[in-house]
Structure 1
């Protein structure tokens, strides 16, 4: 399992429109092979910054499968107009965790 970590800097004043657009766009990513789950969180200290965490079965499911798909072009069309600057995206493998 791979976690995609993306910090999304949304243009100030467009947060509400971004959240509505993301609600539509999440259906696109959720339909992709290898998608497991996602969460979108809004920063308390910097309210126009969002943290997107997406769980993928493999790195290639995101980097090749999703990003190389026609669905990614739809995702881009819906969301990329909200970002300034463009988001930073990294991938992580779980090293350790602790249940509640």
Structure 2
């Protein structure tokens, strides 16, 4: 399993709108993607315009090729993109250890 982490910064004062939009986009758009295995979203306390999105994928290619190359990616960006203050920083991780 692959973990995608997106560090998202949104425009100030739009948190309530974004809270709704990201949840809607995840459950109605990304959840349809082949290889999608789940998500978590955390929002900043000290930095209320900062969100950390974690998406679990079966393989790296499920995200980088399958999802990003699909119409679903276009739909996702239409839902959340208008809130971005800057492009999100996205990286991928594999599990090393857990308790």
Give TM class, smaller chain: over 0.9
Gaps of 5+ in 2: none
Gaps of 5+ in 1: none
Q: Deviations over 1:44-76 (max 9, x none)?
A: 110110000000000000000100001110101
What SS does structure 1 have at the residue aligned with 2:39? strand
Structure 1 CA distance for aligned equivalents of residues 59 and 23 of structure 2: 24
CA RMSD in angstroms, aligned pairs only: 0.7
Partner of 1:3: 3
- Return the TM-score normalized by structure 2: 0.96
Structure 2 CA distance for aligned equivalents of residues 71 and 5 of structure 1: 18
Aligned residues: 98
Q: Deviations over 1:4-49 (max 9, x none)?
A: 0011101110111111111220121011110000011101110110
- 1:77-88 to 2 correspondences below 5 Å: 77-88=78-89
Partner of 2:71: 70
Superposition misfits of 4+ residues, deviation over 3 angstroms:
none
